[in-house]
Every structure is written in C-alpha cells, then in structure tokens.
Structure 1
Amino acid sequence: MTDHREGSFFGRRKGKPLRERQTALMQTLLPRLKVDIAAPPPADLKSLFAADVAAVWLEVGFGGGEHFLHEAARLPDIGFIGVEPFVSGMAKAVAALDEAPLANARLFDDDAGKLLDWLPASSVDGVYQLYPDPWPKKRHWKRRFINPVNLDRYHRVMKPGAIFRFASDIDTYVDWTLRHMRDHPGFEWLAESAADWKTPWQPWSGTRYEEKAVGEGRVPRYLEFRRI
C-alpha cells in the first residue's frame, strides 16, 4: 500500500540551468520570501506577511507563477503563499517579485505536504491547485496529489467554509478528483450546472499551461469545493 505521506507528487525538480541573475536571486531573495517551516508555526498565519492582510490563500504548484502573481497583485489585502518545487518555476516567480515586490506574497519551494503539515489548523481561507501533474499512466496514479491523505491535510488547515479550487485539462484527473472529493466527508462540490465546471472563476487570469492546453485542443475544467 502506498503511503501518501511520503514520496514525490511531482516530477524532476530541475530543468535547464538558471541564468546568472536567477541563480543569485534564488540564493538571496528566496530565503527572505520563503516560509520557514523549521520555525514554530505562527499563532496567526497573517503575521507571515509584511502587508496587513485580512485572509490567507495557498496556491499549490504554481508553475511559472502567472496566476499566483496576478492574484497577489490584484488582491493586496489577501496574503498568498505560493508552492512550487520545480526550480525553474520558482526562479521565474522570484525574479518577478524582485522586479515588482509584493508584500502579500510568500513562497515555499519544497513538497506541499510538508507545508500543509506545518500550517496551523483552520488557518487558510482558500486553496488553488491549478493544472497539477496528472501522472497519466495508471501505474503512476498513486503520485497524484489529490488523494485521501492530502485531502485530510487540506481539510485540517482550511477554515470551515474555505474554498478549494482545482483546474485540469485531463479528463481522467478531473474524474479522479471528483471521486476523491465526493468520498471525503469534509468537502462539498459547489457546482449547480454544467456551466459552473466549464467556466473559470471570475476574474480569471489563466496560466501559461492553460493557454498551451487550449492551443493543443484540450478542454479545461474548473472545480470548486467548500470545506465543511
């Protein structure tokens, strides 16, 4: 039996070599923006941010950071913690935050499970998980992040009534997610009609991956759940 508390939910962490500036920023700026899970978790998660924020959202696996950075810039009174273990994606986000600093943005460059285990209970107002690695081969499905253990993690850190938003262009992963969310007693699907899962949440900035998927003929689906 697979222990979903350990093991990789993502593929390789390194791609092409970083440019000199990116490498320098990963060594200097990232440590200042990174959530330090070696320290005790704060009593109030909002204290992690330099900005005075009214709520805290996570984005787990932000890719190149397009949606994460857009939302943090659009909603300065909301604290955003962006999680991305892939080095190139994190380097892009760090470079963007060097050019346009956001006092309501923090980062985490490791396995999201570690961060979720560290966060205080009932401390998060919402979670985005957009286009996670679908692990399309059946023998790899055990690596999909949506599983009973990680849903328990989400449920523990999310406040009652908090929102979980999931997007994917892979039909088998959409079905997989719906089944797992249905089987978990702590979440309810908010869709009332087909338009609710065919239409992105508004306002919607999209992601670079989504643009590529649509260009290749795949159809994104947008699922929204409430933490009970």
Structure 2
Amino acid sequence: MSEEKPASSRRLYGRAKGHALSARQQHLVDTMLPGLSWADEGAVDPQALLPGFKAHVLEIGFGASEHLIGQAARASDTGFIGIEPFLNGVAKALTGIEEHGLSNVRVKRADARDEIERMPDAAFDRVFLLFPDPWPKKRHAFRRFVQADTAAQLSRILKPGGRLRVATDVRVYADWALPLLLDVPELQWTAACADDWRVAPEDHITTRYQSKHLGDIDPVFMDFERKAA
C-alpha cells in the first residue's frame, strides 16, 4: 500500500491520513498519483508540469479538493497545481480528476512550504490558500501556514498582476495573516470596502467544509495583487 508520509525538511503538524481509503481510492493512489505528482528534488515549474496552458494556478492545502476540482473543471485552458499533505484529500482529488476527465491538474502529497521554495519567480497567475488550519492557540502560532517567510514566498511566485486569495473563518487567523501579508511590499490588498472581504467573490466555490461553519466568524476573503515590477 502507498501510505508513506510526505517527505519534508520541516515538521508537518496535523494529520497525515484519516480513515482507511476505499479500494478505488487506494487504486488511484497507487496507479494515478505517480503520474500526476513530481520529484522531491529539483525545480517545480508549472510551465514544465503543465505545458501549453495560458495560465497556471496553485492551490495550497486543497482539503477534500472540491474547490480545486471545481475551478479546474470550469477553466480547461488553465493548468492547476494542488499540494496537500493529507492522504485522504489527495485520494479525493484523484477521484475528482478521474470522474471529470481532467487533464489540466497535477497534484502532490507534500508540505507546500518545501514545494514553493523550489518554484521559480512569477510562476503563477493565481494562488489560493483557503481555510488553512488556524492553530488558534497562541503557543501554536508558529504552526500557521502564513508566516513572514511564506508570505514573501507567495508574493515571489506570483506574476505581476497575479492574485493571491487567503480565506478563513477564524478571527485569530485573519488577525494574524492580514498584517503579515500587508507587510509584503510587492503585495497590494485589493479591498476597497468591507464587502470586498466579507462577501464571497463571484468566482469562489463553496466547499462542504466551509458550509459546516466551524469557525467563529463568517468567512473573510483577503485578495491581494502582485504589484508590477
């Protein structure tokens, strides 16, 4: 069985896998995932992984993959890269890719922090970080994905004019992430009024996780644009 934990130079907090995979999911992990993933060393270039597409999008921590698969299904001219450490989420992504016959998606079970460091500058038109684990306790703040270094990396891999979306339904995470992102000189917050972050953007796909309302606030959507050089 292919149940190895993702290789990483960092400690990965949270679950690596949940309930046992179904026979179909395990088959897809064994047979489909190797062809859709990429090596643990060397550059991670979306142009090489998904050549011929007019735009490239990265989703970090895609969970059950509903947003990733939904976006890819309605934008066949765009290449999508998804990175998720949770085995069951990766298995669900593979199921969605197969069911929709998608040829514009590559996925890897990994720690996105390691993968991003291997990506070239200005690699993506869009980056999504939706409802990441908030690690709400103060002593766990260092575990949150958005840190000063990752915020800078997210800016670096965006093309000029490219968009980053960070969404959360946990107040402590919003209060933590927004100042860090605002501190990145190359990023411009696009919000002009409260509705710009309180109301879900038109292109957003609501997932079952979001619909459970597990957080302590209504979802906030922080969209940033990479400034021109």
Q: Quick check: TM above 0.5?
A: yes
> SS of the residue aligned with 2:129?
strand
Q: How does 1:1-228 map to 2 (within 5 A)?
A: 7-8=10-11, 10-42=13-45, 45-49=46-50, 52-213=52-213, 218-228=217-227
**Number of equivalences:** 220
- CA distance in 2 between counterparts of 1:64 and 1:75 reads 19
Cα pair distance change 1:74/1:10, threshold 3 Å: farther
Cα-to-partner distance string for 1:110-152 (whole Å, 9 max, x where unaligned):
0001211111111111100000000011110101000011112
Distance 1:7 1:40 in 2: 18
Report if the CA contact (8 A) 1:124-1:158 is conserved: yes
Distance of aligned partners of 1:217 and 1:132 in 2 relative to their CA distance in 1, 3 Å threshold: closer
* Cα distance between partner residues in 2 of 1:182 and 1:197: 14
Partner SS, residue 89 of structure 2 = helix
CA distance in 2: counterparts of 1:93 and 1:184, whole angstroms:
32
Alignment gaps of 5+ in structure 2: 1-7
SS at match of 2:213: helix
| Alpha carbons of structure 1 residues 217 and 157: separation in structure 2 relative to 1, 3 Å | closer
Contact 2:170 2:216 in 1 (8 A): no
Query: What CA distance in whole angstroms lies between the structure 2 residues aligned with 1:186 and 1:10?
Result: 29
* TM-score, structure 1 as length reference: 0.90
Where 2:58 maps in the other structure, the secondary structure is: strand
Q: TM-score, normalised by structure 2?
A: 0.90
Question: In 2, are the aligned partners of 1:49 and 1:103 still within 8 Å (CA)?
Answer: no
Q: List alignment gaps of at least 5 residues for structure 1.
A: none
Percent identity for Structure 1 against Structure 2:
38
* Partner SS for 1:225: strand
- TM-superposed CA distance for 1:47, in Å, is 3.4
One-letter identity of the residue aligned with 2:89: G
Counterpart contact for 2:9–2:114, Cα < 8 Å: no
Contact 1:122 1:159 in 2 (8 A): yes
8 Å Cα contact 2:16/2:86 also seen in 1: yes
